[in-house]
Chain A
Amino acid sequence: MSVAIQFDPIRLPPEAEALRGEVRQFLQDEIAAGTFDPQGGSRDNPEFSRKVGERGWIGITWPKKYGGQERSFLERYVINEEFLVARAPTRKHFTADRQSGPVLIKYASEEIKQDILPRIIKGEVSFCIGMSEPDSGSDLFAAKTKAERTDKGWLINGRKLWTSRAHESDYMIGLFRTSPSTTDNRRHGLSQFLVDMKTPGITCRPVLHPNGNYEFNEVTFDDALLPLDNLLGEADIAWKQATSELAYERSGSERFLETIQVLMELVDFIGENPDLREAEGLGRLVAQLHTLRRMSISVAGMLHAGKEPVLEASVVKDLGTVWEQALPSVARDLAAFVDRDPGNRVRFEEILSQNIIIAPKLTIQGGTTEILRGIVARGLGLR
Chain B
Amino acid sequence: MDEAESLVRDAATRIFQDLGDPQTINNAENDAWRAPLWSALEEAGLSTAWVPDDLGGAGAGIGSGFAVLRVAGEFAAPLPLAETLLAGWLLAQGGIVMPGGTMSLAPTRRGDKISLVDGKLSGTARAVPFAAEVDHLAVLADDVVALVGTADCVCRDGRNLAGEVMNNVDFDGVTPLEMAPLPPGINAGSVNMMGAAVRSMQMAGALQSVLEIAVQYAEERVAFGRPIGKFQAVQQNLARLGEEAAAAIAIANSTAHTIEHLDSWDDDGVFLDVASAKIRVGEAAGQGSAIGHQAFGAIGFTQEHILHRFVQRLWSWRDDFDNEAVWAAELGRRAAAKGGAGLWHSLTAA
To the question of whether A and B form a pair in one complex, the answer is yes
A291 in the interface (beta carbon within 8 A)? yes
B338 in the interface (beta carbon within 8 A)? yes
Q: Which of B49-57, B105-113, B253-261, B303-311 contacts A (4 or more CB under 8 A)?
A: B253-261
The 8 Å CB contact of A294, one of B250, B327, B343, is B250
Task: Given A5-B208, A5-B246, answer yes or no on A270-B235 (Cβ-Cβ < 8 Å).
Answer: no
25 of the cross-chain contacts (CB-CB < 8 Å) are A3-B211, A5-B208, A9-B258, A263-B340, A267-B335, A267-B336, A267-B339, A270-B336, A279-B332, A283-B331, A283-B332, A287-B279, A287-B328, A288-B279, A290-B251, A290-B347, A295-B246, A295-B247, A372-B239, A373-B236, A377-B239, A379-B242, A380-B242, A382-B230, A382-B234
Chain A positions within 8 Å of B218 at CB level: 382
A272 in the interface (beta carbon within 8 A)? yes
A248 in the interface (beta carbon within 8 A)? no
| B:280-296 near A, CB below 8 Å | 280, 283
B275 with A283: CB separation less than 8 A: yes
B249 in the interface (beta carbon within 8 A)? yes
A360 in the interface (beta carbon within 8 A)? no
| Minimum distance in angstroms from B340 CB to a CB of chain A | 3
Chain B positions within 8 Å of A81 at CB level: 348
B223 in the interface (beta carbon within 8 A)? no
B216 in the interface (beta carbon within 8 A)? yes
B240 in the interface (beta carbon within 8 A)? yes
Task: Given A272-B337, A276-B329, answer yes or no on A293-B279 (Cβ-Cβ < 8 Å).
Answer: no
Complex Cα distance, B245 from A146, in Å, reads 43
A290 with B276: CB separation less than 8 A: yes
B242 with A283: CB separation less than 8 A: no
A85 with B276: CB separation less than 8 A: no
Chain B positions within 8 Å of A85 at CB level: 344
Is chain A's interface secondary structure helix, strand, loop, or mixed overall? helix
Chain A positions within 8 Å of B328 at CB level: 279-284, 287
B266 in the interface (beta carbon within 8 A)? no
B340 with A268: CB separation less than 8 A: yes
Interface residues of B, Cβ cutoff 8 Å to A = 1, 208, 211-212, 215-216, 218-219, 229-230, 232, 234-236, 238-240, 242-243, 245-247, 249-251, 253-254, 256-258, 272-273, 275-277, 279-280, 283, 324-325, 327-333, 335-341, 343-344, 347-348, 350
Chain A positions within 8 Å of B275 at CB level: 283, 287
B344 with A380: CB separation less than 8 A: no
Nearest residue in B to A24 (C-beta to C-beta)?
A: B345
A376 with B239: CB separation less than 8 A: yes
Q: Which of A89-97, A220-228, A236-244, A311-319 contacts B (4 or more CB under 8 A)?
A: A311-319
Complex Cα distance, B2 from A9, in Å, reads 12
B343 with A377: CB separation less than 8 A: no
Complex Cα distance, B336 from A168, in Å, reads 40
A13 in the interface (beta carbon within 8 A)? no
A40 in the interface (beta carbon within 8 A)? no
B276 with A380: CB separation less than 8 A: no
The 8 Å CB contact of A279, one of B212, B235, B329, B340, is B329
B215 with A381: CB separation less than 8 A: yes
The 8 Å CB contact of A274, one of B249, B276, B332, is B332
Chain A positions within 8 Å of B343 at CB level: 263-264, 267, 286
Complex Cα distance, B218 from A123, in Å, reads 50
Chain A positions within 8 Å of B327 at CB level: 283, 287
Task: Given A283-B329, A374-B239, answer yes or no on A288-B340 (Cβ-Cβ < 8 Å).
Answer: no
A282 with B215: CB separation less than 8 A: no
Complex Cα distance, B343 from A265, in Å, reads 11
Nearest residue in B to A334 (C-beta to C-beta)?
A: B332
Task: Given A284-B324, A290-B350, A377-B235, answer yes or no on A7-B337 (Cβ-Cβ < 8 Å).
Answer: no
Interface string of A285-308 (1 = CB under 8 A from B): 011111111110010000000000
| Minimum distance in angstroms from B342 CB to a CB of chain A | 8
The 8 Å CB contact of B336, one of A273, A290, A372, A379, is A273
A265 with B340: CB separation less than 8 A: yes
Nearest residue in B to A17 (C-beta to C-beta)?
A: B348
Complex Cα distance, B331 from A5, in Å, reads 28
| Minimum distance in angstroms from A331 CB to a CB of chain B | 12
A370 in the interface (beta carbon within 8 A)? yes
A383 in the interface (beta carbon within 8 A)? yes
Q: A274-B336, A381-B215 are in contact. List 7 more A-B contacts (CB 8 A).
A: A3-B212, A267-B335, A267-B338, A282-B331, A315-B243, A382-B229, A382-B235
| Minimum distance in angstroms from A128 CB to a CB of chain B | 30
A264 with B340: CB separation less than 8 A: yes
Task: Given A283-B328, A284-B324, A287-B328, answer yes or no on A3-B250 (Cβ-Cβ < 8 Å).
Answer: no
B340 with A3: CB separation less than 8 A: no
